[in-house]
Amino acid sequence: MSDKFASKENSSNMSSPMGHGPGRRMGFNKPKDMKSTLRKLGKYLSKYNGLLILTVIFILLSSVSMIAGSYFLKPLINKYIIPGDFSGMAKMLLLLAAIYSLGAGASFAYARIMVHISQSTVFDLRKDMFDKMQGLPLKFFDSNTHGDLMSRYTNDIDTISQALNNSLAGIISSVITFTGVIIMMIVLSPLMILVTAVMLFLIFFLSKIIAKKSKHYFSMQQAKLGYVNGYIEEMIEGQKDIKVFCYEEKAIEEFNSRNEELRKAATNAQTFAGLVMPVLGNMAYLNYAVTSSVGGILTILGILDIGTLVSYLQYTRQVSMPINHVSQQANMILNALAGAERIFDIMEKNDEVDKGKITLVKVTDEKSGFACETQENTECWAWKVKLEYVEEDLVPLKGDVKLENVDFSYIEGKPVLKNVSLFAKPGEKIAFVGSTGAGKTTITNLINRFYEIQSGKITYDGIDVREISKESLRRSLGIVLQDIHLFTGTVADNIRYGKLDASDEEVVQAAKLANAHEFIKHLPYGYETMLSGDGANLSQGQRQLISIARAAVADPPVLILDEATSSIDTRTEKLIEKGMDKLMEGRTVFVIAHRLSTIRNAKAILVLEDGRIIERGSHEDLLEQRGRYYQLYTGQAELN
C-alpha cells in the first residue's frame, strides 16, 4: 500500500537466515580488514591508555610472582628442607607468602580494571553507534533488516565485551607467563629446555591440525544451523496458516530431515571442539612424563640436582597452559574483531545531507505590521533567512509547497517519480490518489526530505527545501503514517512525543481532538496506562487514534496524513472525522487516502499513475472529466 515496496525488495536480499540468530556467535567470523579494525578499536581503547598501562603492569606483576613462586621451590628444597634449616625455611616461606599475595592482589587488580575498561568501551561503542544511527538517512534503514541491525547491539557488542573482559588480559598474561617460564627454564637447565622445545613443537603442531579440522566442521554446522533456524522462523511465523491448511505433518517431516542434518554436522563440529582440551591437556602430561624421566636420569647422572628438577617440573606444568589458553582465546578475539568491523561499518556510513541554514522561528503576530522573532508561543512561524547583504529576513511560514519537475528513484534505474510538478496553496487540502506503487507516499517522503531528489526542485514558501535545516523543515510538518508505531511508556508519554514539553492539559486536549480521550479514559490507568510492545494491548484503531493525537499536540503548520485512517473502520473513522477536520483547519494538508470518501472535500485531488500526475482538480471537476478518477471513484477502474 505504500511506496516503500521497491526498497524493501532490496533489503530482503541482504538478510539471510545465516546472517543473524543465535548461531552466529559460535562461528568463525574473520574480519576482512583486521588492521584497520584493530586501529579503530584501538582508538576507543586509547581513551583508557593510563588504565591499560596499569593493567599491563599488574599482569606483569601477577605473572612474575607466579613464576618466581615456582622458582623458590629450588632453594627451598635444596637449601632448607633437605638440610633441615627451619628458621631459614620460615623466612623463605614468608617471602613466598608475600610474593603470592602480591600476585593474587595484582591479578584481581588487573581483572577488575579490565572489567571497567571493557564495559566503558562497549558503552562508548553502543553510544556512538546509536548516536550515529540517528543521523543516518532512511535509505540506510531500508537496506538493512532490523534483525541485522539489532544483532550489532546484541551479538557483536557481546563478543567484543567478552573478548575485552577475558581474552585480551588473558592473552597478554599468557604471553608474559610463557616468556617468563621459558626464561626460567633456560636459567634452570639449558639442557632440559631441548626436551621441552621438542614437546612444545609437537603440541603446537597438533593444535594447529585440530583447529583446521574443526574450522571445516564448524562452518558446516553453521550452514546447517542457518538452514534449521530459518525454517523454524518461517514456520513459526506462519503457524496460523499451517493450522488452516492442515500442513502440520508436512512441516514436521521437513523439519525432521533438516534437524537430522544439523544433528550430524553439529556432532562432528562439537567432537572436534571437545578434542582441544583432552589433546592439549594430555600432551601437557606427556611433556611432563618425558621431562620427568629425562630429568630423573640427568639427576642420577649428577647433571641436575633434585631442587632444580622439582622446580623445572613445576614449570613444565605451567608452560603448556598459556598455549592452551591462547588457542582458546584467539577465536574469541577474531570473532570480536569481526563484530567490531560490522559496527565500524555503520559508523562510517554517510549522514543525512543537511546543509540548510534556514531555520524556523516563532514570530510576533504579523498582522501588526512587521514580524519579529520571539520566544513566546504566538502560533505564528517564520523562516529565518540569512541573506548575504542584508542582516536577516523573516519569511512568514504559510505552507506553500511546490514541486517542480521532480525526478526520483529509490534504486538507480527504477524511477518512481517522473517529472512531477505540483503546487499546494497555503491552507489547502491536497489529496493523492492512485494505485499501489504510483508514488503517493514517495511525494510526501520527499517533502520532508526523507530521501533526496535526483533532479528538479521542491520549494517551501518559495525556499528550496535543501536550504532549510532538516530539523526546522520536519518540525514544520506533522505526519501520521499508515504504519503506526508507539513507544514503550505511558499513553501520555506517547502523545507527548509530538511535543516534549506539552502540559497535561495540552495532551488531553490533543487526545480529545483525535477522539482518543474517550477510550483512554476507560483504560485501567487512563493516560498513565503503560504501553509496551508497540502498544500491543490496544486495538489497531486505538493505536491510530493515539498517533493522531501525537501529531495534534505537535501543532504543525503543515500536515501529512499517509493513509492515516486505513486501519480504522468506517464507523470509527466517522467519529474521528470531526477531530481530523479540526486538526486540518487552517493548515496545508497532504492526504493519501485509501478510501476516496475521505478526500472528497479536498481542495485539489491529484491522481498519480506510474510516477506521473495524470489528473488534477477538485472532486467535482474530476468527476466531470470522466477520466481516471471517475473510474476509480465508481469502481470501474482496471487497476494494474
Q: Scan residues 311-340 and list those touching another protein (CB under 8 A).
A: 313-314, 317
CA–CA dist 39, 42 (Å, integer): 5
- Least distance in Å: CB of 259 to another protein? 5
Which amino acid, one-letter code, is at 248? E
Q: Does 303 engage in binding with another protein (CB under 8 A)?
A: no
* Binds another protein (CB under 8 A): choice among 52, 79, 100, 467: 100
For another protein, which residue of 143, 219, 292, 509 counts as binding (CB under 8 A)? Answer: 292
Packed helices 49-71 and 34-46: angle between N→C axes, nearest 10 degrees? 100
Assess 257 for contact with another protein (CB under 8 A): no
Contact call for residues 573 and 591 (beta carbons, < 8 A): no
C-alpha cell at 334: 577474531
DSSP string, 162-217: HIIIIIIHHHHHHHHHHHHHHHHHHHH-TTHHHHHHHHHHHHHHHHHHHHHHHHHH
Residue 543 one-letter amino acid? R
Residue from 53, 187, 234, 374 in contact with another protein (CB under 8 A): 234
Selected from 47, 127, 357, 386, the binder of another protein by CB under 8 A is 127
- 608-637 residues near another protein, rule: CB under 8 A: 623, 632-637
Alpha-carbon distance 343 to 132, whole Å?
Answer: 11
Strands 588-592 and 558-562: parallel
Span of 68-76, 195-203, 333-341, 386-394 interacting with another protein by CB under 8 A: 68-76
Q: Which is nearer to another protein, 233 or 365 (CB)?
A: 233
Query: Which CB, 37 or 448, lies closer to another protein?
Result: 448
CA distances from 366 to 370, 377, 382, 428 (A): 6, 14, 10, 21
Residue 371 or 513: the one with the smaller Cβ distance to another protein is 513
Closest distance to another protein from the beta carbon of 375 (Å): 19
- Residue 86 interacting with another protein (CB under 8 A): yes
Q: Pick the closest to residue 562 from 630, 481, 502 (CA basis).
A: 481
205 binds another protein per the rule CB under 8 A: no
Number of residues lying near another protein (CB under 8 A)? 170
Residue 534 φ then ψ, to 5°: 60, 35
Of the listed pieces 47-55, 262-270, 416-424, 522-530, which binds another protein according to CB under 8 A?
262-270
Q: Decide whether 338 or 480 has the Cβ nearer to another protein.
A: 480
Residues 477-506 that bind another protein (CB under 8 A): 477-479, 481, 483, 485-488, 497-498, 500
Binding track, positions 144-173, relative to another protein; x by CB under 8 A: --x--xx--xx------x---x--------
Does position 596 interact with another protein (CB under 8 A)? The reply is yes
Which CB, 8 or 32, lies closer to another protein? 8
Decide if 604 contacts 430 (C-beta within 8 A): yes
Q: Is residue 133 within the footprint of another protein (CB under 8 A)?
A: yes
537-576 binders of another protein (CB under 8 A)? 539-541, 550, 554, 568-574
What is the 3 state secondary structure string of 519-546? HHHCCCCHHHCEECCCCCCCCHHHHHHH
Q: Indicate whether 93 belongs to the interface with another protein (CB under 8 A).
A: yes
Measure the CA–CA gap between 632 and 71, rounded to whole angstroms: 93
Please say which residue, 66 or 371, places its beta carbon nearer to another protein.
66
- Residue of 55, 159, 229, 565 interacting with another protein (CB under 8 A): 229
Chain centroid to CA 458: how far? 33
CA dihedral 512, 516, 517, 519 (to 10 degrees): 160
Q: Does 450 bind another protein (CB under 8 A)?
A: yes
Check residue 8 for interaction with another protein (CB under 8 A). Answer: yes
Task: Give yes or no for residue 204 binding another protein (CB under 8 A).
Answer: no
Site for another protein in 26-65 (CB under 8 A): none
What residues are paired with 530 via a beta bridge? 490
Sign of the torsion formed by the C-alpha atoms of 56, 58, 64 and 70: negative
